[in-house]
Amino acid sequence: MANAVEPVIKIADLRMKYGDKDVLKGVDLEVYPGQIIGYIGPNGAGKSTTVKIMLGLVEGYSGEVRIFGENPKDGGIDYKRRIGYVPEIAEIYDTLTAREYLSFIGELYGMPAAAAESKARRLMNLFGLENVFNSRIATFSKGMRQKVLIMSALLHNPDVLFLDEPLSGLDANSVMVVKEMLALLAAQGKTIFYSSHIMEVVEKISSRIVLLDGGRIVADGSFEQLKERSHEGSLEEIFNQLTGFNEHHEIAEQLVSIVQEV
């Protein structure tokens, strides 16, 4: 049955090479409003490359890519205001205070300065960072910096959020808050593209899981559908089965034996 709602993300036959290496080998994907996509795959599978292409950060690919119907190659910027991004490794301006940084990012997205600052302050309070609003980011712990990154991606109320290991460094309480917040955002029609290696979290929060392996999508469905198809119990086991990995015992034993050599 045709879906009457327009896809937020539409990718068709996406291919990308780095030098001689085929990194993406024909990826097809349509993502709809309100979906939380768990985008998973082994190291080097091509996850970050896909996301960077969608964000317009990487060129040189072939195939069709549309975000809100726009082609990242066309250079339009209005649709980019509807996107939020938490990269895995972020360039964050250490010398700025959280207040300065977040206000700056808000203004970049077209928010009035006062509105950006007021929103940033209230988000900081809810993340338990009210006492460091005027402190330099250089003095922040890893988790505090990660919270600032999450806030900076959300400040302008984007319609689609790309998250790469967003919970990295967050304490257990903050993890619960962010997971619940993502579910609420999705329930309001926001689209979440969630890339992570933490299978327990992906299993719980995703409405749909897309597994990329060697530049190809090898599974696409809800956790229940993937479970039924693979006859495995957990997403970690499904991941191991679909990526053909069953050597963890052997490799672990060999690692230990090398470590123990003197």
Query: What's the sign of the alpha-carbon dihedral 141, 142, 148, 151?
Result: negative
Angle at the Cα of 211 (from 80 to 155), degrees rounded to 5? 30
Of 105 and 235, the one with the shorter C-beta distance to ligand ATP is 235
Q: Among residue numbers 207 through 236, which ones bind ligand ATP (CB under 6 A)?
A: none
Q: Among residue numbers 9 through 38, which ones bind ligand ATP (CB under 6 A)?
A: 18, 23
Give least dist CB 228 to ligand ATP, A. Answer: 26
Give least dist CB 11 to ligand ATP, A. Answer: 14
Q: Is residue 189 within 8 Å of 34, Cβ to Cβ?
A: yes
Give least dist CB 144 to ligand ATP, A. Answer: 23
- Nearest C-alpha neighbor of 193 from the set 79, 52, 97, 76: 52
Binding mask 33-62 for ligand ATP (x = CB under 6 A): --------x-xxxxxxx-------------
Of 15 and 136, the one with the shorter C-beta distance to ligand ATP is 15
Give least dist CB 48 to ligand ATP, A. Answer: 3
State the Cα–Cα distance between residues 44 and 49, nearest whole angstrom.
9
Of 60 and 233, the one with the shorter C-beta distance to ligand ATP is 60
State the Cα–Cα distance between residues 215 and 121, nearest whole angstrom.
41
Taking residue 72's Cβ as centre, other Cβ atoms within 10 Å add up to 20
Query: What's the sign of the alpha-carbon dihedral 127, 132, 136, 139?
Result: negative
Count interface residues toward ligand ATP (CB under 6 A): 10
- For binding to ligand ATP (CB under 6 A), which residues are involved? 18, 23, 41, 43-49
